[in-house]
Amino acid sequence: MEKRKIGSLDVTVVGLGCNNFGSRLDQKATTKVVHAALEAGINFFDTADIYGGTKSEVFLGKALGKRRRDVVIATKFGMPIDDSHFGAKPDYVRSACEDSLRRLDTDHIDLYQLHYPDATVPIGDTLGALQGLIAEGKVREIGCSNLNANQLREAKTAAGTRSAFVSVQNQYSLLAREPERDGVLAACHELELGFLPFYPLANGLLTGKFRPGQPPPEGTRLATMPSDRSAHWLSDELQQRVTTLLDYAEEIAVPLLTLAYSWLLSHRELSSVIAGASTPEQIRANAAAVIALDDSVIEKLDELTA
């Protein structure tokens, strides 16, 4: 499988988002998905301390076992775990890292990411703590998530000559093209950051299994999502756009899943597409979904989803 760079890290263009681990999947099911990913040639696993109520990191570490040295692990800190574990103050950054190292059963984190900006802490203070973790060998590279273009530039300036963010993880898909309009993709090019899209399959709408006007398939995330959250994804606007994409996929005889993955990866700023999976079959389908799209197909997808 093709690999791209995130700083000094070489990651496969298909990664595995681990937010199902510890919530929808128990340890046994997690291990099956992780092993299927490894067999498919995937080396990049993205988790966070809050996923699965902190169980995702534990389940991932156990599933990898001795294969830990063969993979790139990304995790995140900053979102509230409880009333006292959250934020980006230096002391918390260090303690959160120690907790993640313990849960993952590893001596280092390959990509350690600020999950959400903390307006109460100067970004330079957070970066100082992260740079200290790199110096101690506990972290190899640092990244961020949910930062806008101005915040990315501010962080680059604050880092000075020391280690800076090498990646940013924001929402991006055929149904959510904000990074093109808000300047984040341009900032990635300018600052040499790798872009990691979350919700790359729009919570299942772009897998090809969802059919507008019908209930979400049983067992999917959309089917179990609280109504206040699913309302956005099941809105008439998004369903109409999915219908348009499904019609085009049928017209050119290319699965919508393949179009969703390959359109994202046609943007060179992207390092890896880290969709989640709840079964080995899903991760194998994701791994096989990347092809080189003709320019005419990319242009048509741009037009259909603009």
Catalytic, 51? Answer yes
Give me the numbers of helices (H) and strands (E) for the chain, helices first please: 13, 9
- Rounded CA-CA distance 208/228 in Å is 23
Residue pair 170/195 in contact by the 8 Å Cβ criterion = yes
- Rounded CA-CA distance 231/19 in Å is 21
CB atoms within 10 A of CB 23: 14
- Rounded CA-CA distance 61/165 in Å is 24
β-bridge pairing 9-12 and 3-6: antiparallel
CB atoms within 10 A of CB 9: 22
CB atoms within 10 A of CB 149: 18
CB atoms within 10 A of CB 258: 17
Of 51, 92, 172, 248, the catalytic one is: 51
Angle (CA) 135 195 27, round 5°: 75
β-bridge pairing 9-12 and 16-17: unpaired
> Measuring CA to CA, how many Å separate 254 from each of 26, 249, 268, 293?
33, 5, 22, 10
CB atoms within 10 A of CB 215: 11
Residues annotated as part of the active site: 51
